Amino acid sequence: MIDELIRRSIREMVGGGGPPVAFLEPPGDRGLFGPESVAWKVHADFISMMIGGISSLVLQALHPKALAGVWDHSSFRQDLKGRLGRTAFFIAATTYGSHEMADKAINRVNQIHQKVTGFDEFNQPYRADDPELLAWVHMTETRSFMCSYEPYRSETLIPKQKDQYFAEMKMLGERLGAIDLPDTYAGTEQAIRQYIPQLHYGERAKSIIGMLDQFPSSLSAKPFVNLISRAGFLNLPDWAYPIIQRPQPSRLERLAVQSSIRLMAIPVREALKDGVAAHSLRRVYGSTK
């Protein structure tokens, strides 16, 4: 009963359906990364991935050209859950899916990006397949996922593991059209900072960030959703708070949210233990593992 309530709350936030049986085939296929990768470890934790997803969307909304593509060509404002659901499936497919599933997901996104063009709010032209924009989106996502994993999964990664994650994800980013991606944690942080002069907190960004701050949800899912959203904003880099005109969170505030998330995460992880990662392990090793 509790497990089903939790799963319903999660569907409230990102959509999604039943058991991920598509990840069971074909037997033995290791996908793009394989079970020993750091990507498999980091992306397996639904809680920290949702938190990282929120913070990456906040950062991406600050780049006028990246935001323009979403503003002009997607249903983000009308269907936030649908957008998050599609992003969640892409991450699952490329991390845990078979080679065929991952290739299809990547090719589909690349085809969509080729058609997304226009002018941003400053009347500057943009293309969704611009390598510089693709790098911004890729780096803010990977940085956000990595930064949410340790405090909310309560597991420390050594520097070598962190760098391995960015090296693994660099391959995925390049297949999506990004170039000159860093392959270390420190390099990614440094590269992201180079974009700060391009960022803008205008009416469009305020609209999107306001939606993420007040994430739509039913009454029963609201406590869960609000906590995840709050943690997403706490997961931003310190330089972002002056841009979005918010005070930098205190250490006490961060610790309070982390404690609440850790308690909430126990039944959530139990309810989701037979998810995509577990199904994918069965595909690689057989049903006995």
DSSP state string for 41-84: HHHT-HHHHHHHHHHHHHHHHTSHHHHHHHHHH--TTT-HHHHH
pTM (two decimals): 0.92
Compute the distance between CA of residue 15 and CA of residue 80 in angstroms, rounded to an integer.
10
> Are 102 and 33 a contacting pair, CB within 8 Å?
no
Four-residue CA torsion sign, 77, 82, 86, 92: positive
Residue 283 lies in a domain: no
Q: How far is CA 54 from the centre of its chain?
A: 7
Phi, psi (degrees; rounded to nearest 5) at 274: -105, 50
Nearest to 257 by CA among 221, 237, 220, 230: 230
Q: How far is CA 266 from the centre of its chain?
A: 21
In the prediction, which pLDDT does 289 show? Answer: 46
Domain range enclosing 47 = 34-275
Per-residue pLDDT of the chain (289 residues; tens, 9 = 90+): 455 555 565 655 555 555 688 999 999 999 999 999 999 999 999 899 999 999 999 999 999 999 999 899 877 766 777 778 888 889 999 999 999 999 999 999 999 999 999 999 999 999 999 999 999 999 999 999 999 999 999 889 999 999 999 999 999 999 999 999 999 999 999 999 999 999 999 999 999 999 888 876 666 677 888 899 999 999 999 999 999 999 999 999 999 999 999 888 888 888 788 889 999 999 999 864 4
In the prediction, which pLDDT does 78 show? Answer: 67
In the prediction, which pLDDT does 191 show? Answer: 98
Under 8 Å CB-to-CB from 269, ≥6 apart: which residues? 45, 46, 47
In the prediction, which pLDDT does 18 show? Answer: 53
Compute the distance between CA of residue 208 and CA of residue 83 in angstroms, rounded to an integer.
13
Residue 195 lies in a domain: yes
In the prediction, which pLDDT does 10 show? Answer: 60
In the prediction, which pLDDT does 142 show? Answer: 98
Residue 1 lies in a domain: no
In the prediction, which pLDDT does 17 show? Answer: 53
Q: Which two tokens stand for residue 65?
A: 């050209």
Residue 152 lies in a domain: yes
Residue 116 lies in a domain: yes
Compute the distance between CA of residue 236 and CA of residue 253 in angstroms, rounded to an integer.
14
Residue 175 lies in a domain: yes
The DSSP element (H or E) to which 151 belongs, if any, is helix 131-153
In the prediction, which pLDDT does 11 show? Answer: 54
Under 8 Å CB-to-CB from 202, ≥6 apart: which residues? 64, 121
Q: How many residues are listed for the chain in this entry?
A: 289
Q: Which two tokens stand for residue 29?
A: 């296929």
Nearest to 161 by CA among 146, 180, 172: 146
In the prediction, which pLDDT does 202 show? Answer: 97
Compute the distance between CA of residue 73 and CA of residue 248 in angstroms, rounded to an integer.
33
Residue 4 lies in a domain: no
Residue 24 lies in a domain: no
Structural domains in the chain (count): 1
